[in-house]
Amino acid sequence: MLVRYRTIGATDDDVMPWPITQDELADATGLTTVHINRTLRQLREEGLIELNRREMTVLDAERLRQVAGFNPNYLHLIRTEEGNSKVAERAGDLV
């Protein structure tokens, strides 16, 4: 989600809106609320994220990318056209 927020210019740093509840995230992913809660707690304990009200701060983007096995290829962010180079550049921090 951080890559997507950066791509549209909704954030220039590592803080993003997090308007989804654990119940909603569990429902959307087909996981249990307990699993979501434990996973988010583990990410916080490992110093990867911080949740504060309706915002998430990614504290270590590179490590989070590694832990999650994130591969940005499906987002098709890297563009060769002149006008889209800024999009790829902004997203590139986490990509």
pLDDT, tens digit only, all 95 positions of the chain: 888 888 888 888 999 999 999 999 999 999 999 999 999 999 999 999 999 989 999 999 999 999 999 888 877 776 545 444 445 554 555 54
The two three-digit tokens of residue 36, written as one number: 């979501």
For the whole model, what pTM was predicted?
0.74
Distances (CA, A) of 31 to 19, 36, 58: 18, 7, 22
DSSP 57-83: EES-HHHHHHHHT--GGGG-----SGG
